[in-house]
Structure 1
Amino acid sequence: MISEKGATVCGTLGTVCWCVQLIPQIIYNYRSKNCTGLPPLMMFLWVVSGIPFSIYFLVSKANMAVQVQPHLFMFFCSLSFIQTLYYPPVQLPKWKILIICLLLISVDVGMEVGFVLWLRPLYSKGKHWPDLIFGIIASVLLALGLIPPYFELFKRQGEVVGINFIFLSIDSLGAYLSIVSVILGNMDTMGIILYAIVAALELGIFVSHFIWCCRFKWFGNAANKMDCDMESDNSNISTNSGKLVNDNDTCEEIIEDHALHGANFGPTEFEKNENESFNKKKKQFNITDIELSTI
């Protein structure tokens, strides 16, 4: 152990981050009333991962803060999961959401009570491997929860939609602090691997959005817009004349070609209306002049 105090401080801060990281995402979902880009499967896997995490820490009789952490994590994940089901694009009926929530609560309570009562005596006798299995399962589910966002990124050419970056930053910070805590503490290899996988997957989401901004927002926007405008103009010309314009065509050739195909290069509708209005006024003035000259 390198530094027990350092490990405790970093571990506590990491635990706090992983307790409250979803609050910005929940607020973001509530304000936007839309969860497009935030996969329900991600939140579901995180909710489910909280069950084996709770069993793991309860059986090993960890300190109270560590035992509370997975339950807070499950609570906020459940709120976000309900939002993904209630808001677009899923929009399930309220009664279906209620049934899903009741099932999750029933499974959670049943598994925690059953396995804790069964495994605590074994853990006290020195058999730690059953509890370790739950820790591994929880870690795998937590990491798998970060896979569905990559399918959303693929659909949008790398753009991050629906995921709050404050939430993602706090979650990543929790992973990095946990890595430091493990390095300074008991050098748990499995813990380092888990936290490293979570940090790497979340870093990939940041990098993906950064690359998208470079391609389409910061440096490529003007060029892409120009290409779209040129394609639109060519499409309109093709529709009117049945022939695309070549780069070598002169203005006279273009006008002649469009005239042959019935394209209209005359006055616009606004100009026609103005001319008609002017002609009507002119006729009225002429009639008035005739009447005055007759009198």
Structure 2
Amino acid sequence: MCSGLWCVQILPQRKSTDGLPLFMLMLWSSCGVPFGVYAIVQKFNFALQFQPQCFGLLTLICWGQALHYSHHWRTWTATVATVLVAIGLGLTEMILILTLRKPYYNGVKWPMMMMAIIASVMQAAGLILPYFELAKRKGRVVGIDFTFLTVDYSGAFFSLMALVAQNTFDVLGGTLYLVCMILETGIFISHWIWLWRVRHVRSEAKKAGMSYDDYIAEHPSKKLARNHSSDTIADVEACDTPPASLVSPPEKCQMKPERMGEVTAPITDVEKQSEATTNHTSYIQ
């Protein structure tokens, strides 16, 4: 079940890959190599061995589609690039399996540990990249379908359960699935927060019979804006003034009173000179 979920989670995109980071797709496709080596050499069950191969292939197809739709590569050029990368990744995985299998069976464990660590880091890095897209869109998820996220999350969960069901639990393999689940949970939460923040605007758009994007295009003032309130606060006691662009005309700060109800006026240079002369005269007398 977990293998099936992870195999269908990356479906080919249709005419749009907006919001889908290209580098994320390449990282995910590439992480299938170390994870595949790790699963095959350690003789996991067939589903867990097949899963990274299918996942990497489908992700690579989406990478090629992103080249075509978002980066405007010609169809033939994007197809050739995808095939060449697929051949390169396949050969790399085959060489690593043949190279690392014998040392592992002879008791050398650290190469397999490195494969698991590399796969986990690449998987996590691929899921971190969408957070930059979320920051650009104030938390809104664009380009990543929630059906995909749900299937992907379910695949990670059931894969983790498959490891639990084995005779011995593999910590590094389980870490890969756990990291995936945590980062995807963050994506869910980010979009839910965005939906809450724009709930009134979405309600207005629905009443107008328009989509959110179309409604915002006609009413730009309804768009979420950054909060600049912190830039307009002036500390009067510290004589701090807001930026000149925010205050017109500029205001003068007031001196702090010495006592309640008493305001001390600033001492001028003439008064200082007069006081100094008086003190000097008193000294001579």
TM-score by length of 1: 0.64
SS in 2 for 1:145: helix
2:134 to 153, 163, 170: 153
**SS of residue in 2 equivalent to 1:147:** helix
Higher alpha-carbon deviation: 149-158 or 173-182:
173-182
Question: Structure 1 CA distance, aligned partners of 2:163 and 2:43?
Answer: 19
Distance 1:70 1:174 in 2: 12
The 1:193/1:61 distance shift into structure 2, 3 A limit, reads closer
On the 8 A contact 1:160/1:205 being kept in 2, the answer is yes
Inter-partner Cα distance in structure 1 for 2:98 and 2:89: 14
Q: Which runs of 5+ in 1 are unaligned?
A: 1-12, 230-295
Q: Give me the whole-angstrom Cα distance separating, in 1, the residues matched to 2:186 and 2:160.
A: 18
Tell me what 1:243 maps to: none
Counting only pairs closer than 5 Å after superposition, residues 186-205 of structure 1 correspond to structure 2 as 186-205=168-187
Percent sequence identity is 37
Change (3 A) 1:21 1:98: closer
The answer to whether structure 1 residue 51 and structure 2 residue 33 are counterparts is yes
Q: Please say which structure displays the higher CA radius of gyration.
A: 1
- Summarize the alignment of residues 1-295 of structure 1 with structure 2, pairs less than 5 Å apart: 13-23=1-11, 26=12, 29-30=13-14, 33-87=15-69, 89-185=70-166, 186-218=168-200, 228=221
Mean Cα displacement is larger for which, 98-107 or 207-216?
Answer: 98-107
CA contact (8 A) 1:214 1:220 kept: no
Shift of 1:111: 1.2
Partner of 2:251: none
One-letter code aligned to 1:20: V
- Kindly state the Cα deviation for residue 184 of structure 1 after the two structures are TM-superposed: 4.8
Q: Which amino acid aligns with 2:115?
A: F
CA contact (8 A) 2:39 2:49 kept: yes
Q: Tell me the amino acid that sits aligned with residue 228 of structure 1.
A: S
The answer on whether the counterparts of 2:116 and 2:173 sit within 8 Å (CA) in structure 1 is no
Deviates more, 1:108-117 or 1:194-203: 108-117
Higher relative contact order (CA 8 A, sep 6+): 1
Residues paired across the two proteins, number:
210
- Ranges in structure 2 where 5+ consecutive residues have no aligned partner: 205-214, 223-285
CA distance in 1, matches of 2:16, 2:202: 28
Q: CA deviation at 1:98?
A: 3.6
Q: Secondary structure at the match of 1:157?
A: coil
CA distance in 1, matches of 2:163, 2:38: 17
Counterpart Cα distance in 2 of 1:191 and 1:102: 28
Partner amino acid, structure 2, of 1:192: G
